[in-house]
Amino acid sequence: MGYKFLLEALKTWKMPHPQSERLEKNAMESMQTTASHRREASMANPFYFIFYVLLSALAFAVWTLGYVMAHNEVSRECERLGAFYVGPKTYICQIKGGQHGTE
């Protein structure tokens, strides 16, 4: 916020000596290094790592739950109805011989 004001002031007001370009360059470098230090400091915080690990574990758990529920639903419909549907299509099921529960 303060840097933007400084940059605008440097653009509108020209110093009578040749150091104005150097000062403007230093202000830009200072702004960039401050942003990179802030980014490095935030990534050095161990809570960010823990947060991302927990978020990844939660995403994996939700995906696994959906996978298991979908397969259970299809197998349950095949056992009860002999068919299952996906959207407007209906598929006929047959349990292969020699598998669990077929003998």
Q: Where are the domains of the chain?
A: 2-67
Euclidean distance between CA atoms 17 and 27, whole angstroms: 17
Top pLDDT among 87 and 5 is at: 87
Alpha helices per DSSP H over the chain = 2-12, 20-44, 46-81
Over 60: is that where the pLDDT of 10 sits?
yes
Q: What is the pLDDT of residue 75?
A: 87
The string of DSSP codes covering 21-36 is HHHHHHHHHHHHHHHH
How high is the pLDDT of residue 46? 80
Q: What value does the CA radius of gyration of the chain take, rounded to a whole number of Å?
A: 32
> What is the rounded distance in angstroms from the CA atom of residue 50 to the CA atom of residue 60?
15
Residue 6 neighbours by CB distance under 10 Å:
15
List, for residues 76-102, the tens digit of each pLDDT value.
888 888 888 888 998 898 877 766 655
Structure tokens at 68: 């298991």
21-73: pLDDT as tens digits:
666 677 667 766 665 666 665 666 788 889 999 999 999 999 999 999 999 98
The reported pLDDT for the residue numbered 93 is: 87
Say if CB 27 and CB 7 are below 8 A apart: yes
